[in-house]
């Protein structure tokens, strides 16, 4: 794990060179002049970032046009931009924005043309959530890297910086200039349903070093970075997409734990910080979520931490920000609290008109609105969007998913796979001694970085290494007949590989592993998400943590199983006994090798 000295070295001296610190904005006069020419409606539009359906700004598929009409009141992205003059658009795979690299670049160009064709047109800030690992909106053939907790297991700021630099080059070629990454949360709750492996780990100093390094890599590629989720989402068992988390940290615990990576991110010049829809009573006892809390966003982030960059809300259609106020009040309160970008409101028209009305009626001053617009324009200017917002097909061809980037992702992944258990030196397996492998287990819904179900991808990777590997999906909650079928199939194998996904004490996945172990065939468990699975799998003779089920991490796990690479990953989180969580099973830094 990176030491405190590594953290300081990674962040020292970068503030003056990189951070938007509010002390020297040479182009403010020009940007303020631009703001002075904007109508109130145009200023309101600049603070909104919205989704839109389709792969074309002007000619989406009919189903996407219908979805736009139903959700946004327009049929095309160009119409949306003309109506609301939004400052940003966020891409999602489910919105059909990211079908293939050339189409993504064409969509980006179309969106920019639509924005610049408006009177006094201002370029858009196009964004996405490309965290890698389990959250990646742009899939293959773009390069997919290991996710944050895998990078935490590798423990290398150099790898984090390389990830940011290469992934950033690909995003820039696609016209995506703001990435909602890295996650700066310190994951200390094993039951955390929303952060987990999206975090670099449980050590705040290690998280700080890796977040700062990744920020530096992305910024070197011309990509705006986003540290999230402020003031810290790592110690909660509630998902803010569906509920309202409450974190009981004291102010001192927050300073020593949650604040550390955000301080490092600010020192590293992070361009934006994304808020969390959760309550920390020690920071604000009003009952308001952090996204709507002036003591948190202005008091802590702006004044205490000295941050003057863009503050972006987490998506405003999430339950955590909608429990206390209506959808017309949330965007106004977020701006009053200190936010600048309002991300993905559930009803754009309602939210846009609410902010417009709040300014006209004096609840929100136009001066306060212009502060946010200026920060957004500063960021667009720093990214060069006023000079050249467009991208070229040639840049896509020479940048996205090129062999050098794919090879770098494979090398990084090999340094992250963590061997947790290896009884009797079972691993590595030899295709000469144990040629027939059965790969069974969980096949969770595939993220963007996969070409198929984990059992299929892992079996194919093992086949490439000389084994005869058969895939048999038993699901994340295998039924008794599925378990019986796996046991029968194991009779024809020399060893069994089981992919596991979020195993709990009563999980049928645990029963599957126990029944397979009882056959006498050696069982290797590969945790394809949480490394905490190992605590529930005492019957497995070997256990690996892959931290995700994307192709790059499954291929690395296969190479570790076969011994073509040596396992080098170390746990970035502690694993506690399943029966007695007070007892430590494996500490941070645990990892075997051979």
From the list 302, 168, 311, the residue with the least C-alpha distance to 228 is 311
From the list 62, 125, 60, 126, the residue with the least C-alpha distance to 91 is 126
From the list 13, 532, 524, the residue with the least C-alpha distance to 237 is 532
Residue carrying structure tokens 């097909």: 393
Beta bridge partners of 210: none
Q: Catalytic one among 21, 100, 239, 241?
A: 241
Peptide bond into 28 cis (omega under 30): no
DSSP state of 207: H
Beta strands 495-500 and 135-136, pairing class: unpaired
Rounded CA-CA distance 135/161 in Å is 18
**582-587, Cβ contacts within 8 angstroms, sequence gap of 24 or more:** 585/534, 585/535, 586/420, 586/534
Q: Is 314 a known active-site residue?
A: yes
SS3 of residue 290 by DSSP: helix
Rounded CA-CA distance 570/573 in Å is 9
SS3 of residue 249 by DSSP: coil
* Tokens at 286, concatenated: 């009003």
Q: Are 217 and 160 in contact (CB under 8 A)?
A: yes
Q: Is 25 a known active-site residue?
A: no
* Tokens at 369, concatenated: 């609105």
What string of DSSP letters covers 140-156? TTS-----HHHHHHHT-
* Tokens at 357, concatenated: 């009305």
SS3 of residue 136 by DSSP: strand
* Tokens at 100, concatenated: 């293939």
> How far from chain centre, in Å, is Cα 113?
29
Beta strands in 449-545 (DSSP E): 468-473, 495-500, 523-527, 542-545
DSSP state of 577: -
Query: Catalytic site residues?
Result: 241, 314
């Amino acid at each position: 794990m990176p030491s405190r000295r590594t953290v300081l070295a990674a962040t020292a001296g970068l503030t003056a060179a990189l951070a938007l610190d509010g002390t020297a904005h040479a182009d403010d006069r020009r940007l303020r002049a631009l703001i002075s020419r904007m109508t109130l409606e145009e200023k309101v539009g600049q603070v909104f970032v919205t989704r839109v359906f389709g792969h074309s700004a002007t000619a989406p598929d009919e189903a996407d046009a219908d979805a736009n009409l139903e959700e946004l009141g327009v049929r095309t992205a160009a119409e949306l931009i003309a109506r609301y003059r939004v400052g940003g658009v966020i891409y999602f795979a489910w919105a059909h924005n990211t079908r293939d690299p050339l189409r993504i670049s064409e969509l980006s160009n179309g969106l920019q043309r639509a924005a610049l064709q408006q009177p006094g047109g201002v370029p858009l800030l196009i964004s996405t959530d490309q965290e890698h690992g389990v959250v990646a909106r742009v899939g293959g053939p773009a390069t997919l890297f290991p996710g944050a907790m895998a990078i935490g297991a590798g423990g290398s700021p150099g790898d984090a910086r390389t990830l940011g630099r290469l992934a950033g080059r690909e995003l820039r070629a696609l016209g995506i200039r703001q990435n909602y990454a890295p996650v700066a949360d310190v994951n200390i709750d094993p039951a955390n349903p929303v952060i987990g492996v999206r975090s670099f780990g449980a050590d705040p100093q290690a998280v700080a070093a890796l977040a700062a390094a990744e920020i530096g890599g992305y910024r070197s590629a011309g990509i705006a970075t986003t540290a999230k989720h402020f003031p810290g989402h790592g110690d909660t068992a509630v998902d803010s997409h569906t509920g309202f988390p409450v974190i009981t940290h004291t102010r001192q615990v927050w300073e020593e734990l949650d604040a550390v990576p955000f301080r490092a991110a600010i020192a590293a010049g992070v361009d934006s910080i994304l808020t969390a829809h959760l309550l920390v009573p020690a920071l604000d006892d009003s009952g308001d979520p952090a996204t709507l809390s002036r003591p948190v966003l202005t008091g802590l982030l702006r004044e205490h931490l000295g941050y003057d960059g863009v503050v972006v809300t987490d998506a405003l259609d999430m339950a955590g920000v909608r429990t206390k106020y209506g959808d017309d009040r949330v965007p106004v309160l977020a701006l009053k609290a200190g936010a600048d970008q309002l991300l993905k409101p559930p009803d754009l028209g309602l939210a846009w008109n609410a902010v417009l009305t709040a300014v006209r009626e004096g609840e929100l001053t136009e001066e306060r609105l212009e502060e946010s617009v200026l920060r957004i324009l500063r960021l667009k200017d720093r990214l060069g969007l006023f000079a050249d917002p467009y991208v070229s097909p040639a840049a896509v061809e020479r940048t996205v998913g090129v062999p050098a980037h794919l090879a770098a992702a494979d090398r990084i992944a090999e340094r992250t796979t963590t061997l947790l258990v290896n009884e009797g030196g079972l691993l590595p397996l030899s295709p000469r001694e144990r040629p027939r492998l059965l790969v069974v287990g969980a096949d969770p819904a595939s993220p963007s970085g996969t070409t198929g179900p984990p059992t299929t991808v892992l079996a194919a990777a093992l086949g490439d290494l000389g084994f005869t590997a058969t895939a048999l999906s038993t699901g994340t909650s295998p039924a008794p007949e599925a378990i019986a079928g796996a046991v029968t199939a194991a009779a024809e194998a020399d060893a069994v590989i089981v992919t596991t996904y979020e195993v709990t004490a009563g999980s049928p996945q645990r029963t599957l592993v126990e029944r397979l172990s009882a056959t006498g065939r050696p069982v290797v468990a590969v945790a394809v998400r949480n490394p905490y699975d190992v605590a529930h799998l005492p019957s497995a003779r070997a256990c690996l943590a892959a931290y995700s089920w994307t192709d790059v991490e499954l291929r690395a796990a296969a190479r570790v199983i076969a011994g073509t690479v040596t396992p080098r990953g170390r746990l970035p989180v502690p694993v506690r006994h399943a029966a007695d969580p007070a007892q430590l099973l494996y500490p941070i830094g645990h990892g075997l090798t051979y």
